[in-house]
A = this chain, B = another copy of it.
């Protein structure tokens, strides 16, 4: 796969429920879609349990390797919400109530005539110096420390926070893609497709097998930031597919 991608990102999804099968993650695919549109290349995803050491060591590995890190989960009010502490541990920063976060939450519970319990106050805790990520859905904010963006796990809140984050990031040149349907299995195209990839190093060519119980077919996806390179590679793949079709005995 040619390296044509300037800004990189990683995601860390946090939560026992994702690893027990109880909750099926819906944030990874959404982040992937959003980053692709923004021209930022998602390079790695990890899912870890609600364990501080596991979270902290994953954050440290990812934040040093990629331009941006996005996390989901573990920022609510219960004892298993330990992401803020784990991020503090990763950065060697103390974790305390963030003044603006505390005030936003206090005001919200005052207005709703609900007690601002110790549990609810947990949602105001961040590593010292963190910048808040607004939560238009349910007030309790996410936060950013350096290149690590810490967001909620509930999909509607994750998505709203991500919208706020993306508005502030410099976008890369978006990748364009072309998808060609291949009506036969990958075994027929593997050799010629490898040759085409070699001739077009500025285009990432992927082949994705499909099987729904009767026969194999495939989708060939070409991706590039260079429109001319993409067109040239696409023409070569189309010609290759046409040659295979014409060489087959008719039914």
A4 and B239 alpha carbons, distance in the complex (Å): 58
> A1-B51, A54-B44, A207-B76 are known contacts. Are A190 and B28 too (CB-CB below 8 A)?
no
In the bound complex, do residue A119 and residue B191 qualify as a contact, i.e. CB atoms below 8 Å apart?
yes
In the bound complex, do residue A186 and residue B78 qualify as a contact, i.e. CB atoms below 8 Å apart?
yes
> A118-B191, A156-B211, A187-B117 are known contacts. Are A79 and B197 too (CB-CB below 8 A)?
yes
In the bound complex, do residue A190 and residue B46 qualify as a contact, i.e. CB atoms below 8 Å apart?
no
A63 and B179 alpha carbons, distance in the complex (Å): 35
Tell me if A165 counts as interface (CB < 8 A to partner B). Answer: no
A21 and B188 alpha carbons, distance in the complex (Å): 26
Tell me if A122 counts as interface (CB < 8 A to partner B). Answer: yes
State the number of copies, please: 2
Name the distance in Å between A126's Cβ and chain B's nearest Cβ: 17
Stretch in A12-20, A91-99, A141-149, A228-236 with 4+ CB within 8 Å of B: A12-20
In the bound complex, do residue A20 and residue B80 qualify as a contact, i.e. CB atoms below 8 Å apart?
no
Which chain B residue lies CB-closest to A51?
A: B1
In the bound complex, do residue A1 and residue B194 qualify as a contact, i.e. CB atoms below 8 Å apart?
no
Interface residues of A in 198-251 (CB under 8 A from B): 204-213, 216, 221, 223
List B contacts of A180 (CB < 8 A).
Answer: none
In the bound complex, do residue A17 and residue B76 qualify as a contact, i.e. CB atoms below 8 Å apart?
no
Tell me if A50 counts as interface (CB < 8 A to partner B). Answer: yes
Tell me if A157 counts as interface (CB < 8 A to partner B). Answer: yes
List B contacts of A77 (CB < 8 A).
Answer: 185-187, 190
